[in-house]
């Protein structure tokens, strides 16, 4: 494991971490040996005693990030919190902002296109009238050399929503082979789509409303450096 998860916040009910790229959220079919599973690793860390207030919690996955996506992710420590947060996600009350590096410059726009998960293609979605309503707000942060760093706020939570919406508009994520994105940028060969859960906002029992920010992964930072994007503006 070249990168480790970072704890962004925790209390008796939740723990929020910065998920490393390449890690699975939960076990899945066809897991490769040696691939870290975030829910397991966080559970081991807590059981080792790093969490002095609750040394042996049960962890509940509230939402998932794809293996290649890094960033802020919430895990619940009890069933009641899991039910509450799951409902908040379903109702669209959780604030979710992602960063992505894309080909081209999409400017600022709201994409409102239904997404349909193809039954014949594992883990692939398309824009289709028979799909579920899906809305993403896009803001371009900076651009150079034919690429842009964008901020995507999700108003719904469909599989591959940011990736499919941007690819359909003609601005695929770099590294996103599944949806036609380039696999090399600024001399960097990319294994994963450059997508990062930058901010997550939710309400806690003790602290009220929280907004937590996760630093980008090392590959995304290297892209920033190679394209001359200022860390003070990006990080």
Tell which residue, 226, 220, 235, has the closest CA to residue 68: 220
CA distances from 190 to 103, 130, 145, 183, 186 (A): 13, 33, 17, 5, 10
List 12, 66, 78, 215, catalytic entry: 66
Q: Name the token pair of 142.
A: 């900076």
Residue 80 annotated as catalytic: no
Tell which residue, 60, 69, 65, 72, has the closest CA to residue 14: 60
| Beta strand ranges found along 52-120 (DSSP E) | 60-61, 70-76, 95-103, 109-112, 115-117
Q: Are 102 and 173 in contact (CB under 8 A)?
A: yes
Annotated catalytic residues are 66
């Amino acid at each position: 494991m070249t990168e480790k998860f970072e704890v962004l916040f925790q209390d008796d009910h939740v723990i929020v971490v910065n998920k490393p790229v390449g890690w699975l959220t939960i076990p899945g079919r066809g897991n490769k040996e040696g691939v870290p599973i975030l829910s397991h690793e966080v559970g081991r860390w807590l059981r080792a005693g790093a969490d002095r207030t609750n040394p042996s919690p049960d962890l509940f996955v509230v939402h998932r990030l794809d293996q290649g996506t890094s960033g802020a992710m919430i895990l619940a420590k009890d069933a009641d919190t899991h039910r509450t947060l799951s409902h908040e996600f379903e109702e669209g009350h959780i604030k979710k902002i992602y960063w992505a590096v894309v080909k081209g410059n999409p400017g600022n726009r709201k994409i409102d296109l239904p997404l349909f998960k193809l039954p014949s293609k594992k883990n692939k979605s398309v824009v289709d009238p028979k799909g579920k309503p899906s809305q993403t707000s896009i803001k371009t942060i900076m651009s150079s050399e034919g690429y842009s760093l964008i901020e995507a706020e999700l108003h719904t939570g469909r599989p591959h929503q940011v990736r499919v919406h941007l690819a359909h508009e003609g601005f695929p994520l770099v590294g996103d082979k599944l949806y036609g994105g380039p696999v090399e940028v600024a001399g960097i060969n990319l294994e994963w789509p450059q997508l990062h859960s930058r901010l997550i906002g939710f309400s806690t029992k003790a602290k009220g409303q929280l907004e937590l920010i996760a630093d980008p992964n090392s590959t995304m930072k290297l892209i920033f450096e190679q394209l001359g994007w200022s860390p003070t503006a990006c990080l």
